[in-house]
Structure 1
């Protein structure tokens, strides 16, 4: 008895990409594209009716982005497996998707074999990251370790709070220290890491 094909829902706000992915997957007998959605909102609606095995989820969409859509999908049906697909390999996006329950993450410039491998591995219950995403994550870890050695524990704690979007006043309240002390720490962090401003700091720590 032949096994049922793995059903897939494609979610992306660009029609050309949706059609391209659907065409690529249509040549695989063990895969079946059961639906296409232009945004997270449509995705959530289709999940209720189609109940696909796997969702190929774009990240940057409106009004509901892929991260929020993944969270909602997991609430509706835990068995559905999500693979994040984006132009971004930045650790921030990867981590957010994985935190919300995605089982895989690949970039849009991957080859067909990598796309198929991602679907196969995730359908088996495994996690999957495309090679370029793995490289970015390794660079992130190495950068973090290098930066940790150049600043104090307190300064690194402040960096983490800056990455969360907190202001100097909010950081001072959270750490129960003076705002001026936070400002001094921020100045020292930039000086030690040879950075010009907070924007460069955030980019340095991939946050």
Structure 2
């Protein structure tokens, strides 16, 4: 609701796990994807690596509590185009979405 009502973005799909995300039929249509890192058997890092093998044009933003340098390096290496710390999500999400959408 926050994305659609407050930030005026259209949500085309939601997934509650990495497995569910990988099964989405319309994922290639996404302009920007928000990916929680902490999920079930297939976490956000793995799901991103897997989906980018087929759809390397996707712009994916990591959403995480962990902002240690070593973990941020893993986010970049996994193919994410940006990240938002969960504690700052309401403050930083809109600008991060715009930056990633615009290729920054």
TM-score by length of 2: 0.89
Query: Which one has the bigger helix percentage?
Result: 1
Q: Is 1:50 the equivalent of 2:1?
A: no
Where does structure 2 lack aligned partners over 5 or more consecutive residues? none
What secondary structure is seen at the aligned counterpart in 2 of 1:85?
A: strand
Partner of 2:76: 98
Alignment of structure 1 residues 1-207 onto 2, 5 Å: 23-27=1-5, 28-29=7-8, 31-46=9-24, 48-51=25-28, 52-126=30-104
Superposed CA offset, 1:152-172 (max 9, x none): xxxxxxxxxxxxxxxxxxxxx
Q: How many residues align?
A: 102
How far 1:111 moved relative to its partner?
4.6
Query: Contact 1:53/1:79 (CA < 8 Å) preserved in 2?
Result: no
Query: Contact 1:39/1:61 (CA < 8 Å) preserved in 2?
Result: yes
What secondary structure is seen at the aligned counterpart in 2 of 1:110?
A: helix
User: Which 4+ stretches in 1 moved above 4 angstroms?
Assistant: none
CA RMSD of superposed structures (Å):
1.4
2:95 & 2:72 partners in 1: Cα distance? 18
What secondary structure is seen at the aligned counterpart in 2 of 1:109?
A: helix
TM-score by length of 1: 0.47
Instruction: Compare CA radii of gyration and give the structure with the larger one.
Output: 1
1:25 & 1:68 partners in 2: Cα distance? 24
